[in-house]
Structure 1
């Protein structure tokens, strides 16, 4: 497996893969299809992705095997940790193609991101995870993370419970 930093030339594959994997794992949670599309249009729009790639605080990784994309991840450095008075690396995306779950790809992407965070002098790594996504919670717990808070993501038609998880990198 090859893990490398993504660049502007990867935007199309990231956009397509991000939309498809998000729909696969989470579309059933959205009560309003228009809100789902609005969310995806924002998160994976070319303008938003271009801005992300031009921001030195944002770091994207791609995992490949023989030219086939297995998954990707994104971390944003120096982000305020919810309910704490410190900054840390926010793991904002770790998306795997469905056939790649439970094959070690996520763990390798996470390890690379944690190393990058340490190189950027981040003392803490944190993320948001759906309260209903217990398999992802177990994965992150195995990485040493624990629940540090919670919130609710609210749209005009629904609310979704979110947990904050994190761990020290020192």
Structure 2
């Protein structure tokens, strides 16, 4: 089935909230030591109010992928300082597929849509943070030419997680 992409608007906040809570819990809940911290994180990231604010922030773009139903979403920011580089680029904050939607080629289609959006904004770099524990995502990005730039820590009251910062120049077609 063909995957279609559209830019999210403020009217999509409730849909993105439901998708965000569901996908994040499905893919990452097992990495959290504290249910309370996970819930607080999800509320900060995916509450309708937080999403409405993000959707109305200049320089931030949310994309929704749809086939027969919404299948995933991405969040990008433009002209963000690239770690370990003296330049700015598009920051891919999130690229999530709904449970049951992986393994269908949707990740590659979404990747191409993200590249189109970044290039349309005249970005020359794309970078992101990926959990060290998310080996599948790291392999996905490495296969698309992203290289490790540095690493940082995400800290909560009860745990720390290593985040790999990866990036690539957008001067090629990959």
Displacement after TM superposition at 1:42 (Å): 0.4
**Unaligned runs of at least 5 residues, structure 1:** none
Give the Cα separation in 2 of the matches to 1:135 and 1:105: 15
Any idea what the Cα deviations from partners look like across 1:31-68, whole Å, max 9, x if unmatched?
011110110010012222111111221111111112x1
2:40 equivalent in structure 1 = 38
1:139 equivalent in structure 2 = 140
Output aligned runs, 1:73-112, within 5 Å: 73-112=74-113
Displacement after TM superposition at 1:79 (Å): 0.9
**Unaligned runs of at least 5 residues, structure 2:** none
Q: Normalized against structure 1, the TM-score is what?
A: 0.95
Residue 26, structure 1, aligned to residue 28, structure 2: yes
Give the Cα separation in 1 of the matches to 2:98 and 2:89: 27
* 3-state DSSP of counterpart to 2:103: coil
Give the Cα separation in 2 of the matches to 1:48 and 1:12: 11
Give the Cα separation in 1 of the matches to 2:103 and 2:146: 18
Q: Normalized against structure 2, the TM-score is what?
A: 0.93
Report the RMSD for the aligned CA atoms in angstroms.
1.0
1:11 equivalent in structure 2 = 13
Give the Cα separation in 2 of the matches to 1:90 and 1:72: 14
Give the Cα separation in 2 of the matches to 1:112 and 1:5: 11
